[in-house]
A and B are shown apart, each in its own frame.
Chain A
Amino acid sequence: MDSATRQHTGVMNIMDETGHRQLQWNISDPKQIAAARKTFDRLILRGHTAFGANSGSDLKRTITAFDPTLEEVVMVPRIVGG
């Protein structure tokens, strides 16, 4: 594993009434990855949709499974019509 991979951190932005809360993980830390995956799965079960990208400049796409190699994930609550 090179130093760039070891340094890689991902961030999950979870929309809520505070604007959003952030959960970060380091790809070299299995505990942080497990915690992020657990949060991801819980929110998906609750009806959130996840959008992720490998880098900040990439267009985010829908993801259905947690991928710790992604740089950023945004969790959006379920959509309701008005």
Chain B
Amino acid sequence: MRGLDQATALCKRVAGWIHAALLAKERWNRQAMQKARAEQRSLLLLLAQLNDEQRCEFKAHGYFYVTGGGSRDRYRIRLDSAVNIDLLGADGKVRYHLCARPAGEIPMYDVMAGQLLFLQDRASEAHFLAQAKKHVTLSFPAMLR
């Protein structure tokens, strides 16, 4: 009888684990779907902020160029999770990289749209640059193009 009780208890525990695993998988799937939907919505917002030339650049290469609203400097904003802005010199080579982004858990395309809006506007470019950290030593392949 004691053996039967132990077996029943074990079965209940295993069933509990399976139930918990199924719930976790469901939750993970839901979160993945929400994230994918958010990425899609943010991509639409980014594409709406780009001009025709920038849209073509972005679709072809995953980056686009922006002219600073106040400085007239040339920036390249890349699809990357960090340090994704390059400041280009007159020769087209990267002078240094910048890292600054809108705060919060916003999708990557929203980050790029925010960076674009700040840099292309005369009034907000200086504020953005004051917040940004400069990085000089990184050399990812995309940055060297």
Contact = CB atoms under 8 A, between A and B. Distances in A.
Given A15-B102, A49-B124, A60-B49, A79 B40 contact: no
A61 B69 CA distance: 10
Contacts of B39: 19
Interface of B: 34, 37-42, 44-45, 48-49, 82-83, 99-107, 109-110, 113-114, 117-118, 120-124, 127-128, 131-133
A51 B100 CA distance: 18
Name the interface size band of chain A: 20 to 34
A36 interface: no
B100 A60 contact: no
Q: Is the interface of A mostly helix, strand, loop or mixed?
A: loop
Interface of A: 13, 15-20, 47, 49, 51, 56, 59-62, 74, 76-82
Given A20-B41, A59-B120, A60-B117, A77 B100 contact: no
Contact of A17 (B106, B117, B123, B124): B106
A59 B120 CA distance: 8
